[in-house]
Structure 1
């Protein structure tokens, strides 16, 4: 092979690889894909918007499933309720996977997991401690505390019945 022939083959190979990379670089998942959404940290307005957009995108692309990887100590009840409502209204099945090992779905995270069609946990993770507290972590006293607790119990019961748990 001559040097010119080798150069020509090199150019053709480069063009082919470039075209292949371009074709594979689509940022849109294919229809019927499984979308995996990573969440870590406190449940709040940012997480609620992020999950709403992720579920919207999954619905728009006819995804087969959305997997929410969840690791949270809990957070705002208002944001948790938005997320729970969005999961319940979703046109695509939602799975919540508590991960990584050592992670948790505590407090508001427990209710988010309960709302999902599928709830699963990685080894050495935990779920629970779903009681409302003040922003400083102190107990909510008196009638207000009882009302909030009863509301949370009613929501957990309704979600368990909805999902056959």
Structure 2
């Protein structure tokens, strides 16, 4: 074999191996992967559907963990309750990671973090301020306000106790 012939065979082998690696690669994560889901903004129906689909996909692929990266000022209690219920019913462990630095899991985000199997926070993030308010930010007055607060306290205490977290702190956040 001449040196030119060996170079040509080496080139063909490199092309073949490159094509083989390309064919074997996939944009889908491996079945046992950790799925990372990025969320930012208000908790609402779009976020609830997005997280539901992400958890469904993780369950369908036998993922080992779903990490929800969360940065929210809060949002709709109905959407928060859908997300909390989906996390509690998930067949895969869910971690909520409050990020980026300066981010928050306020209001409805506090409930979502408390529902997760694992709750973690990046440095310089915050959680809490979970009392219910009207859409314009004003307090909910009277008997309705008390009923909503009692319901929120019951939910957040139950979540904290379920996950072995400080239920007194959780209640104080409401």
Point out where structure 1 has 5 or more consecutive residues left out of the alignment: none
Structure 1 stretch displaced more, 19-28 or 124-133: 19-28
- Give the alignment's TM-score, normalised by structure 2: 0.86
Structure 1 stretch displaced more, 102-111 or 131-140: 131-140
Q: Deviation digits for residues 82-113 of structure 1, max 9, x if unmatched? A: 00000000000000000000000000000000
1:31 to partner: Cα distance: 1.5
Partners of 2:138 and 2:6 in 1: how far apart? Answer: 74
Q: 1:115 to 1:15 in 2, by over 3 A?
A: same
State the SS of the aligned residue for 2:27. Answer: coil
- Give the alignment's TM-score, normalised by structure 1: 0.91
1:118 to partner: Cα distance: 0.4
Point out where structure 2 has 5 or more consecutive residues left out of the alignment: 166-174
1:15 to partner: Cα distance: 3.0
Q: 1:145 to 1:37 in 2, by over 3 A?
A: same
Q: Deviation digits for residues 49-106 of structure 1, max 9, x if unmatched? A: 1100110011111111100000000000010000000000000000000000000000
State the Cα RMSD in Å.
2.0
Structure 1 ranges of 4+ moved more than 2 A: 1-18, 20-25
Partners of 2:38 and 2:6 in 1: how far apart? Answer: 46
Q: 1:145 to 1:58 in 2, by over 3 A?
A: same
1:25 to partner: Cα distance: 3.9
Q: Which residue of structure 2 aligns with residue 58 of structure 1?
A: 58
Q: Deviation digits for residues 121-147 of structure 1, max 9, x if unmatched? A: 000000000011111111111111111
Partners of 1:148 and 1:24 in 2: how far apart? Answer: 54
1:7 to partner: Cα distance: 8.4
1:18 and 2:15 matched: no
State the SS of the aligned residue for 2:4. Answer: helix
Structure 1 stretch displaced more, 59-68 or 6-15: 6-15
**Aligned pairs (5 A) from 1:92-131:** 92-131=92-131
Q: 1:61 to 1:73 in 2, by over 3 A?
A: same
